[in-house]
Amino acid sequence: MNKSFAWTLLPLTALVLTACSTGPSSADYDKLTADMTKASFQERGIAKLSRLDQDQANAACAQADVAGKPLDDKAAKAIEEANMKTIKWPSDGKFLGDWKQGETIAQSGRGLTWTDDAKVVSGGNCYNCHQISKEEISFGTLGPSLYNYGKLRGVSDPDSAASKAIVEYTWGKLYNARAYNACSQMPRAGHMGILNEQQLKHVMALLLDPKSPVNQ
């Protein structure tokens, strides 16, 4: 090899070796991934690119998942406290609606896709992850069974003082599950505007009303 050419290659070789030894940071990879993800999608109808934006909880839980370890207790508690503050309780103080309408909402997965109009009433898509009523034989198992939900928890009268804690917990869990589990994968039905207040009341009745088939 020509000596002058070899000497010319030395600075370039050093640069390459330095790049290999340091490499991109995790932040660089995160930005690259985010940019590639956004470049792979386009806005259509009501589906906007803002849906790809991660909030603090999503980012922290994703990083913990990639690292293969649970979120540390301090970070988890901070996320849960922040999400607890987002919960809006029933404006009239009443938690239960009509369980029959609740069953319809639980069965429906309609809404929030790019083909839907913004005015389309969304469903809860609850059966996609849970068993709920005994009559329905098609359900997902990603989440626990909710059959006999109120009965197993001793809710014979949802309006009684004894049932207050379970009723409020159930509302909060439906409204924003991350108030109780920082990295919960359960849709935040109330917080994200998937279901409105009245719809949440109907689903509450499906789970807690003693007359609901769920509790028979």
Going from the N-terminus, what domains does the chain have, and what CATH number goes with each? Answer: 99-215 (1.10.760.10)
Residue 51 has what DSSP assignment? G
Residue 13 confidence (pLDDT): 54
pLDDT in tens, 29-86: 677 777 777 788 888 887 787 777 778 888 899 889 888 999 999 999 999 999 999 9
Residue 47 backbone phi and psi in degrees, to 5: -85, 105
pLDDT in tens, 172-211: 999 999 999 999 999 999 999 999 999 999 999 999 999 9
Contact predicate 130/115, CB 8 Å? no
Q: Cβ neighbours of residue 73 under 8 Å, at least 6 residues apart? A: none
Instruction: Kindly report the number of other CB atoms within 10 A of residue 62's CB atom.
Output: 14
